[in-house]
Chain A
Amino acid sequence: MKKREVRVITCIICPMGCKAKVTIKNGKISKIGDIECPRGEEYVIRELETPMRDFFTTVRIKGASTPVLPVRSTQPIPKDKIMDCALELANIAVDAPVKVGEVIVKNLLGLGVDIIATRDMDRWKQVEH
């Protein structure tokens, strides 16, 4: 029996926001409709095969003026790994000071991307009152 499925994917390449109608037969793309340009088609195909996303969150930091440090991945990660990566980083704590761009985790979950700090965090000098 042939399996046929139609999926709607919103293209995010430009402000047009085309809603592409993709027909999938037996797990393969058979038709892409309602999209106006080749860049959009390319996006839709990649989005169906391996959707990738920028990844960013915070990790705990000790000895800084605030308790969290913002971080991001050096490259996009597969969309279906976002929650795994978020959970993994929930267990990480670093010590201040940290510099922007400093590697916090190397090769996160074997995905081939590093997690880097996105800001400087100085060691907190407590002011005496």
Chain B
Amino acid sequence: MAKRNVDIAVMGGGAAGLAAATKAKEKGIENIVILERNEQLGGILPQCIHTGFGLRYFKENLTGPEYISRFVKKTQDLQIEYKLDTMVLEITPEKDITAVNSIDGLLILQAKAIILAMGCRERTRGMLGIAGTRPAGILTAGTAQRLMDVEGYMPGAKVVILGSGDIGLIMARRFAMEGAKVEAVVEILPYPSGLDRNVVQCLEDFNIPLLLQHTVTSIHGSDRIEAVTVAKADANGKPVQDTERIIKCDTLILSVGLIPENELSQTANIALDSATGGPIVNEYMETSVQGIFACGNVAHVYDLVDHVTQAGELAGINAARYVLNQLPPLPKKITLKAGNNVRYIVPQIIGGKEPLTLYLRVKKPMRNVKVTIGNLIIPQRVVKPPEMVVISLTRQTLEKLEKRDELKVNIEEKAEL
């Protein structure tokens, strides 16, 4: 089978992939192909019919379909090739790509650069270990969203939602608006996992109870789910005895976290970060394999698509520079290590010279903090796990940074005066 040569191959045509492909094309790369598993471009956004997208990138309040349609149009206007219904089976460190679809059959590409933009997937019941039967009516929030807002089905009438991630909160509102009764949103932690604005607009507006420090301990029902047992959870997340109660329902929605989808990264022997679940990247968004870049939710799970787009554009620009032999090596290789109250930091490797944006996820909420990166101190008013901490460093600030091989990033509360 003949190999086809391309300059840049983009794995996935969602927000990150389209941003990367369009930027690379604008940088002068002609031979780009996007490989997309779905039957349409856009990734998850066509099913996110709520508003709140684009406030930063476009300074407009758009819905998901509106936001992504601008990038789909740009992709088409720039005449970038894309293949839909196409499943990538393997990529190698030498940047050979094996894919299949019903038109080309087996497809083998040799790329000069690859951009990973496969996104993430939802955690499922099997990953939680909830006791009980295995009836119908247990869905992830994203599946319920697709059923309701793309395919036009109503998944249930009496709903319990486990986990208070943003998609779960948003689906609580959609269920309520479509006439279902949402009995409760059950969250094991002492604070919601989703953004404040979603707690207010999705739960409080519709009088949906949020049970913090509670969890589902059992599922009941034979053919269809009939009820769940809910119990209080202690500080370690363990159910507290004698606090169980039964909530009747015909649907259980799971909104319990997202995991970057990196099976392909593994076939290419790319080093992954166990904290993000995604590839370790440097400030170019380049992975441990030269010429393979990663962006969007495949690298780490974002809360705003606007930031995904920016990361995609950065990866696209740098992949183009790589193909054009214009990507200089980093002036220094400084590895950032997560310290106190930092779950992870991306990019993990910086050069310490050119301006860049750091994304941090914290472990627990804190107020009036200082973020320290080596000798740099950046004050922040508040940090919370659901909201990514975004820190932009200018060239001027970076001049002051001590250039060690490894720097710790800590977040600490400032001492009271």
Contact residues of A with B, CB < 8 Å? 10, 12, 15-17, 53-54, 56-58, 60, 66-68, 70, 72, 79, 82-83, 86, 100, 118-120
With a cutoff of 8 Å between Cβ atoms, the chain A residues found around residue B178 in the complex are 57, 86
> Is the beta-carbon distance between A68 and B382 smaller than 8 angstroms?
no
**Chain B residue with minimal CB distance to A17?**
B196
Q: List 19 A-B contacts (CB under 8 A).
A: A10-B196, A12-B200, A15-B382, A15-B384, A15-B387, A16-B381, A17-B382, A17-B384, A54-B51, A54-B52, A56-B51, A57-B177, A57-B178, A58-B49, A66-B150, A66-B151, A100-B65, A118-B63, A120-B69
Instruction: Name the contact of A70 in the complex, choosing from B52, B65, B205, B387 (C-beta under 8 A).
Output: B65
With a cutoff of 8 Å between Cβ atoms, the chain A residues found around residue B151 in the complex are 66-68
Would you list which residues of chain B between 170 and 229 have a CB under 8 Å from chain A? 177-178, 196-197, 199-201, 204-205
Q: Within the assembled complex, what's the spacing in Å between the Cα atoms of A118 and B381?
A: 36
A48 to chain B: closest CB distance in Å? 14
> Is the beta-carbon distance between B152 and A53 smaller than 8 angstroms?
no
Q: Within the assembled complex, what's the spacing in Å between the Cα atoms of A118 and B45?
A: 11
With a cutoff of 8 Å between Cβ atoms, the chain A residues found around residue B152 in the complex are 58, 60, 66-68
B4 is an interface residue with CB less than 8 A from chain A = no
Would you list which residues of chain B between 53 and 80 have a CB under 8 Å from chain A? 61, 63, 65-66, 69
**Given known contacts A15-B387, A120-B69, A56 and B150 CB-to-CB distance under 8 angstroms:** no
Contact residues of B with A, CB < 8 Å? 46, 49-52, 61, 63, 65-66, 69, 148-152, 177-178, 196-197, 199-201, 204-205, 381-382, 384, 387
A65 to chain B: closest CB distance in Å? 9
> Is the beta-carbon distance between B201 and A72 smaller than 8 angstroms?
no
Q: Within the assembled complex, what's the spacing in Å between the Cα atoms of A10 and B69?
A: 33
B312 to chain A: closest CB distance in Å? 21
Task: Output the residue of B196, B199, B387 with the most chain A CB within 10 A.
Answer: B196
With a cutoff of 8 Å between Cβ atoms, the chain A residues found around residue B177 in the complex are 57, 82-83, 86
With a cutoff of 8 Å between Cβ atoms, the chain A residues found around residue B387 in the complex are 15
With a cutoff of 8 Å between Cβ atoms, the chain A residues found around residue B148 in the complex are 58
Q: Within the assembled complex, what's the spacing in Å between the Cα atoms of A56 and B174?
A: 9
- 3 closest A-B pairs (Cβ-Cβ)? A119-B65, A67-B152, A70-B49
Q: Within the assembled complex, what's the spacing in Å between the Cα atoms of A53 and B196?
A: 15
B260 to chain A: closest CB distance in Å? 23
**Given known contacts A15-B196, A67-B151, A86-B178, A118 and B201 CB-to-CB distance under 8 angstroms:** no
> Is the beta-carbon distance between B196 and A119 smaller than 8 angstroms?
no
With a cutoff of 8 Å between Cβ atoms, the chain B residues found around residue A72 in the complex are 49, 51, 63
Instruction: Name the contact of B149 in the complex, choosing from A12, A15, A58, A100 (C-beta under 8 A).
Output: A58
With a cutoff of 8 Å between Cβ atoms, the chain A residues found around residue B50 in the complex are 54, 56
With a cutoff of 8 Å between Cβ atoms, the chain B residues found around residue A16 in the complex are 381-382
Given contacts A15-B196, A119-B66, 9 further A-B contacts (CB under 8 A): A16-B381, A17-B384, A53-B205, A54-B50, A60-B152, A66-B150, A66-B151, A68-B150, A120-B69
With a cutoff of 8 Å between Cβ atoms, the chain B residues found around residue A17 in the complex are 196, 382, 384
Q: Within the assembled complex, what's the spacing in Å between the Cα atoms of A57 and B175?
A: 11
Q: Within the assembled complex, what's the spacing in Å between the Cα atoms of A60 and B178?
A: 13
Q: Within the assembled complex, what's the spacing in Å between the Cα atoms of A100 and B72?
A: 13
With a cutoff of 8 Å between Cβ atoms, the chain B residues found around residue A66 in the complex are 150-152
> Is the beta-carbon distance between B382 and A79 smaller than 8 angstroms?
no
